[in-house]
Amino acid sequence: MRERTLGTLTIGQAPRPDVVPIIDRHVAARVRRVHRGVLDGLPHAEIEARYKAQAGEAALVTRLKDGTVVELSRERMRDGVQRGLALLENDGCDAILILCTGTFEGLTCRRAWLIEPDHIIPPMVAGLIEHRQLGIIVPIASQIESEHGKWHTLDRPPIFATASPYSDGPERMLSAARELQRGGAAAVLLDCIGFTERHRDALAEIDLPVILSNAVAAKAVGELLGG
């Protein structure tokens, strides 16, 4: 079998040392990796001028290479994401995973398999949850409304709480999960690529299933590229 190449595209800056280890656990070592970020090489001032979310805009959250956390306009990021996909196709990628659980409309690749977490995770979780109540932790409160539509496949509307994987500690994570548990959640989904195993571990004492979005996406990619 010829060498396969996986491209990963973060809406921030590559690489993502918090997320890449999760991908590496589920994608075979023989698969070549290429990492790119929509904001690669851009100074802070240009990022703010081009992409900073304004009041009322659907926002996405990411962390830059220097650790700065930024809120970005989902609408204006869309064109940057499409350009990033084109660059990764030019790099020879067979499959491209977007490292964001936000919803983007109309993204395309000429040849490569495009893996969009917001297309994979909601139906998979709906199949697992069935009639039960799903609780979702999102990084910022505005995403409760802006990302709500992607959960239409659930039998019951989800309930939400907020905690950021980038700026909140384990106490805030646990508080958000307990809020969902009190609301009747039978399972908790961490709906941001930035949530990792340490965030899931912080929720161990609530004794509910906790689903990592990036692990779901990585497992799907691993299957697509042959384990």
CATH assignment of the domain containing 113: 3.40.50
- Whether the pLDDT of residue 125 is over 70: the answer is yes
User: Do residue 127 and residue 200 come from a single domain?
Assistant: yes
**Cα–Cα distance measured from residue 64 to residue 38, given in angstroms and rounded to the nearest whole number:** 11
220 near 116, Cβ under 8 Å?
no
Percent of the chain scoring above 90 in pLDDT: 96
Residues 108, 219, single domain; the answer is yes
Q: Are residues 93 and 165 in the same domain?
A: no
Instruction: Report pLDDT digits (tens) over 174-221.
Output: 999 999 999 999 999 999 999 999 999 999 999 999 999 999 999 999
Q: What is the pLDDT of residues 10-56, one digit of tens each?
A: 999 999 999 999 999 999 999 999 999 999 999 999 999 999 999 99
For residues 49 and 146, state if they share a domain: no
| 113 and 25 part of one domain | yes
Rounded alpha-carbon distances, angstroms, from residue 130 to 152, 154, 181, 192, 201: 12, 7, 17, 22, 25
129 and 38 belong to one structural domain:
no
Domain residues for 68?
A: 5-117+215-224
**Residue 159 belongs to domain with CATH number:** 3.40.50.1860
Instruction: Please give the model's pTM, rounded to 2 decimal places.
Output: 0.95
**Residue 227: pLDDT above 80?**
no
pLDDT in tens, 62-100: 999 999 999 999 999 999 999 999 999 999 999 999 999
Q: How many domains does the chain have?
A: 2
CA distances in angstroms from 2 to 95, 115, 122, 137, 220, listed in the order given:
14, 21, 32, 40, 20
